[in-house]
């Protein structure tokens, strides 16, 4: 994407979003920003699997446009959208924009209480190099494939080179869950989803059944004797 091209995200048509946030709806981060930025608070519409945007490889972003007010607003809106839907990452193709951009953050997340925190990160034109070809199997879900979970193998360690929110150079090594989130989001930039990474679909489950037959038994196995998972 060049500096001359306009960014045209698709927003949720819900004028009550700000009022709902103030009334106590949405995530804690959602409400925090709503209070801070009363003049403007927007949630982007998430594209689902089947929409062409999900399968379209993303274009590189011209660094000259990163500091523009329009692009900076988009970054804020993507973070707000990620928080509102309790995600740990969001890629631009998921909000109908075929550009190489993703945001991610893991902080006191109820679904991932035991993983190390990942600071709010903006990845523009990311390039990923696998440093450890060993893979780890774990469950994944996706905002663009709602109400589903599946076991996905991901590489253990990566090097990531990208531009940050202000166009600064990022170059870091990451492992385990952080590496998984980055692989998931950068797959979106290639027009791929986690289903494409699954060696077979036998583990693919609807969310309610996954919670009942996978999550709850796992929690019970890790609950000390004499205690229940709700204690």
Rg of the chain on CA atoms, in Å: 18
Active-site pick, 84, 105, 140, 185: 185
124 within 8 A of 163, measured Cβ to Cβ? yes
CA distances from 91 to 18, 54, 199, 213 (A): 23, 10, 23, 30
Is residue 185 among the annotated active site residues? yes
Tokens of 205: 């489950």
The span from the CA of 217 to the CA of 13, in Å, is 39
Buried b (16+ CB within 10 A) or exposed e, 148-179: bbbbbebbbbbebebbebeeeeeeeebeebbb
Tokens of 191: 């027009």
- Catalytic residue numbers, as ranges: 185
């Amino acid at each position: 994407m060049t500096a001359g091209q306009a960014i045209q995200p698709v927003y949720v048509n819900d004028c009550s979003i700000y009022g709902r946030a103030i009334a106590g709806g949405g995530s804690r981060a959602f409400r925090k920003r709503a209070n801070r930025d009363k003049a403007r608070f927007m949630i982007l519409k998430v594209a689902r699997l089947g929409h062409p945007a999900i399968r379209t490889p993303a274009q590189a972003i011209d660094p000259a446009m990163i500091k523009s007010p329009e692009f900076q607003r988009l970054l804020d809106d993507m973070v707000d959208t990620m928080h509102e839907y309790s995600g740990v990452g969001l890629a631009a193709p998921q909000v109908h924009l075929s550009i190489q951009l993703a945001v991610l953050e893991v902080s006191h997340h109820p679904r991932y209480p035991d993983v190390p925190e990942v600071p709010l990160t903006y990845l523009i034109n990311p390039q990923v190099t696998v440093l450890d070809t060993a893979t780890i199997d774990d469950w994944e879900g996706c905002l663009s494939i709602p109400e589903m979970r599946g076991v996905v193998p991901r590489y253990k360690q990566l090097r990531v080179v990208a531009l940050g929110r202000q166009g600064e150079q990022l170059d870091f090594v990451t492992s385990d869950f952080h590496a998984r989130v980055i692989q998931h989001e950068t797959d979106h930039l290639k027009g791929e989803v986690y289903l494409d990474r699954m060696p077979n679909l036998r583990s693919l489950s609807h969310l309610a059944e996954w919670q009942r037959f996978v999550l709850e038994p796992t929690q019970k196995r890790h609950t000390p004797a004499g205690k229940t998972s709700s204690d």
